Amino acid sequence: MNPKAVLALFLALPLMALGHGGEDHGDGPKNASKPMAPGQGIYFPKEAQFLLGVRTEPIGRRRLEARLMVPGKVVPRTDRYVAIFPPLSGRLLASGDRLPLVGEKVSKGQVLAVVQQSLSAPEMAQLAAERIKAEAAVGQANASMLQARRDLERLRSLSRVVASKEIQKAELAAKVAEQEVSRALRATLGEQVEPPKSLFAVLDSSVLWVEASVFVDDIGRIDEARSALVHVSAYQDRYFPAKLFNLGQTVDEATRAVKAIFDLANPEAKLRPGMFAEVAIGAGDNREMLAVPDAAVVEREGRKVVYVHTGPEEFFAREVVLGERDGPYWAVQQGLQAGDRAVTVGTYELRSAEEGR
C-alpha cells in the first residue's frame, strides 16, 4: 500500500476519550487495537503521538527564584548608538557606487557618504517640496507599522487557538511595514541635506538595554535585585539573562513607576530595539520546589491545566494551582506530584481531542 495513503487513513481516524479504571496500559496489541470507553482520560494512539511530535517532561523539584514580572522594552545602549549628521548644507553623494543600506554592517573609519556643497534657488525649492512629501510618507509608514505590530502581538497572544499561517502572515505584514518605514526614512542620493537632519544611525546591537517599568509599590521587592530574565513574544521558549545597570531614583508622575535598566547581551542578534518584553526581575527567596514547564500549562476557561501522560496511549487533564514563575518554570502548589510526565509539545492536539469526545 502507498505510505501516503496509510498516513492519510490514520489521520482520518477520530481521537477518542477513555476511562481510567484499572485498564491494562501495556504495550501489547490488545491495548493498541481497542480504544477504551469514554471517561475522564484521553485516548491518543502511539502513532499519533509520534507523527504529531508529542513530547513530555518529568515533573521534579527545581531551585526557583521568586520574580517580579513587569513590562519592558528593548532599546539601544546610549554608548553604542550614534546618529550621523551632515557637517554642512549640500547635496548628498555616495562615497562608492551606492549609499549603505538599512541593516548593512559598517566598519570603523568607513566613509558612508559625501556632502557636496552647491545648489541653485530652483533646486532648493524643488527639494523643499520633496521633503514635505517625504515627511508625509514617513508618517503614513509609521502608522502602518504600528498597526501591523499590534495585529501581530494580538495573534501571538492567541497562538493556541489561531492557525500558524495567520501568525506567519501577520509577521510578514509587520516586516514589510518596517521596511517601508526604513525606506521612507533613508537619505537619498542627490538630496539636499542640512546639518540638523540625521543621515544615518549606527548601532552596535551586540549589547542592548531593556527598560523595565516597576510600579513604586513594588520597589521594595527588588531593592537587592541584580539580574532579570527577559522574554519576547518572537521567541516563545527563550529567556535572555540580563544584569541590572541602573535603578531609577525618580517616580514618573503619570505612570507611578520607576525605570529599571538592564544590560542584555545579544551575540546572536535575536533581539532588536523597539521590541516589547516581559521582564522577570529576581526578587530573592531562592528555594527548591516542585516545578512544571510553562510550555505544559494550558489556559482553559480561567483555569490552568496540565496534560499528564499516565499510560502508553493515555493522557489526563489535571487542573493545577501555580505559584511564582521563574523564567520557563512555574512553582506547583497543587495538582501535580514528582514523577508525573507533563506534555510540553502537543497540548493543542490533546485539548482538541478532549473537547471533541
pLDDT digits (tens, 9 = 90+) for 51-69: 888 999 999 998 888 888 8
| Residue 332, SS3 per DSSP | strand
One-letter identity of residue 33:
S
Per residue in 29-47, pLDDT (tens digit) is 333 323 333 346 888 888 8
- Label residue 8 by pLDDT band (50, 70, 90): very low
Sheet holding 113-116, edge to edge: 113-116, 90-94, 192-193
The CB density around residue 27, as the number of other CB atoms within 10 Å, is 12
Examine the pLDDT at 20 and tell me if it is beyond 50. Answer: no
How far is the C-alpha of 288 from the C-alpha of 224, rounded, in Å?
Answer: 20
DSSP per-residue letters across 169-217:
HHHHHHHHHHHHHHHHHS--TT-EE-TTS--EEEE-TTEEEEEEEEEGG
- Label residue 123 by pLDDT band (50, 70, 90): low
How far is the C-alpha of 352 from the C-alpha of 341, rounded, in Å?
Answer: 20
Tell me how far the alpha carbon of residue 346 is from its chain's centroid.
Answer: 20
Q: Are 294 and 329 in contact (CB under 8 A)?
A: yes
Average pLDDT over residues 194-203: 80
The mean-pLDDT minimum among 100-109, 231-240, 311-320 falls in 100-109
- Label residue 192 by pLDDT band (50, 70, 90): low
Domains of the chain: 3-62+289-355 (2.40.420.20), 65-75+204-287 (2.40.30.170), 83-202 (no CATH)
How far is the C-alpha of 67 from the C-alpha of 228, rounded, in Å?
Answer: 8
The CB density around residue 265, as the number of other CB atoms within 10 Å, is 13
- Percent of the chain residues past pLDDT 70, beyond the cut: 80
How far is the C-alpha of 241 from the C-alpha of 211, rounded, in Å?
Answer: 14
One-letter identity of residue 242:
A
How far CA 247 is from CA of 210, 216, 258, 264, in Å, comes to: 12, 12, 8, 15
Q: Which of 54, 30, 51 is nearest to 42 (CA)?
A: 54
